[in-house]
Amino acid sequence: MAAHHATGAGDSAGPSAAVPHRLPDYAERVLTVVEDIPPGRVATYGDIAALLGEGGPRQVGTVMARYGGAVPWWRVVRADGTLLPGHEREALEHYRAEGTPLRRGPDGTTARAGGTRRIDMRRARWAGPGPGEAHADHADHAGRG
């Protein structure tokens, strides 16, 4: 799946512009986990780091900020279920289309007091692939640092 995540490299002046470069190994593994999150489910930055057995929420966040545009980035959330600042509207569209559980506010809407939407983490959180579902890249790279 490495080619799936590859991005263009080099300047636009020469033939090297069309040559894809390989993502850093950790980034490749993070993106692979993100692709494995089923529609309607979410994982936290820390969940992904734990599944990989290395890094932490900040490292996963850095990967998502730099390379996450080509994967279902809206399925990676903060531990409290708040939506990614600046991307709330787009994320909410994805959540509604996928049936991701959202928390209900006091007025019965899927918003907190003050209008901040949140994921219902108790219902939406994905714990990782079940037995026999582990992606080959997870097993190949788990525990490496």
**What predicted TM-score, i.e. pTM, was given to this entire model?**
0.73
Tell me what pLDDT residue 110 has. 53
Rounded to the nearest integer, the mean pLDDT of the chain is 79
Residue 100 has pLDDT above 50, yes or no: yes
Secondary structure in 3-state letters for the chain: CHHHHCEECCCCCCHHHHCEECCCHHHHHHHHHHHHCCCCCEEEHHHHHHHHCCCCHHHHHHHHHHHHHHCCHHHEECCCCECCCCCHHHHHHHHHHHCCCECCCCCCCCCCCCCCCEECHHHHECCCCCCCCCCHHHHHHCCCC
Among the ranges given (25-39, 47-61, 123-137), the one the predictor scored with the smallest mean pLDDT = 123-137
Confidence of residue 144 (pLDDT cuts 50, 70, 90): very low
